[in-house]
Structure 1
Amino acid sequence: MDKGKVLIVDDDARNIFALSAVLKSRGYTCIAAGDVKEAMQKITTQEGIKVVLLDMMLPDMDGYEALPDMKAAPEYQGIPIIAVTAQAMAGDRERCMRAGADGYVSKPVNVDELIRLMNALTD
């Protein structure tokens, strides 16, 4: 059963591979982008993306810069963006939410927590 498309934006192929593998095993279709520019291109060419998982530490434009731009783009209207970050210090969640994230998970990703959050944001 296809639970929908997830756009994973991360510059580390290992993170994309690991997250894709576990989400695919749970019934999701995964699309990957290595940076924000590629993510913007994918969101305009791929139909039916339900949620975006955005790594906050990207080389070209970090997630804190990208979130306001993504949220302002018509292509992203109604698509929740979840910040996925190795930064799990005090205040990091709040910083992500202030930047415009709809949700926050820290790395290493607790998959059950991520899926609960995805379901809460897309139902």
Structure 2
Amino acid sequence: MRRGEILTRVLLVEDNEMNSDMLSRRMERKGFQVFIAKDGLEGVSMAGEVNPDIILMDMSLPGIDGWEATRRIKAAPETTSIPVVALTAHAMASDREKALEAGCDDFDTKPVDLGRLLEIMEKLLSAS
């Protein structure tokens, strides 16, 4: 996806290599520039380094989980405005509420439905 002539930069925070490989390749084919972090700490660090347009955050991560990583990203002035989409296999209403309370801007379930995820991303990107 292009915003003007600039590729939309996506930070994918995902510890499962098969999931990150599959999703990043699918998103790159759609025109996104994808950066991958393999755990929560790396995700927090990369959010400040690569300044993505949007972050896709797995919630079940080693080290610090996606909820804590999102709290840290939203607490830092330089990354607070970056939209974060929670990605989780847990689809209960309480999981959505927990993600939103941690600072996520939206929520999607795994396995990822690319069309649905792209709609969420477009909504958040057009609002920022």
Q: CA deviation at 1:73?
A: 1.0
Q: Secondary structure at the match of 1:27?
A: coil
User: What fraction of aligned residue pairs are identical, expressed as a percent?
Assistant: 38
Give the distance between the partners of 1:92 and 1:41, measured in 2 at CA: 25
Q: Which residue of 2 aligns with 1:46?
A: 50
Query: Stretches of 4+ moved more than 4 A in 1?
Result: none
Q: How many residues align?
A: 122
CA RMSD after TM alignment? 1.4
Residue in structure 2 matching 1:111, options 103, 109, 114: 114
Deviations 1:27-78 (A, max 9, x none): 101000011221222222224x110000000010111222221100123122
Q: 1:64 to 1:44 in 2, by over 3 A?
A: closer
Counterpart check, 1:120 vs 2:123 = yes
Q: 2:74·2:81 contact (CA, 8 Å) conserved in 1?
A: no
Q: Which runs of 5+ in 1 are unaligned?
A: none
Give the distance between the partners of 1:31 and 1:4, measured in 2 at CA: 11
Q: 1:20 to 1:98 in 2, by over 3 A?
A: same
Give the distance between the partners of 2:17 and 2:66, measured in 1 at CA: 17
Name the TM-score, length of structure 1 as normaliser.
0.91
Name the TM-score, length of structure 2 as normaliser.
0.88
Superposition pairs of residues 1-123 of structure 1, within 5 angstroms: 2=2, 3-47=7-51, 49-123=52-126
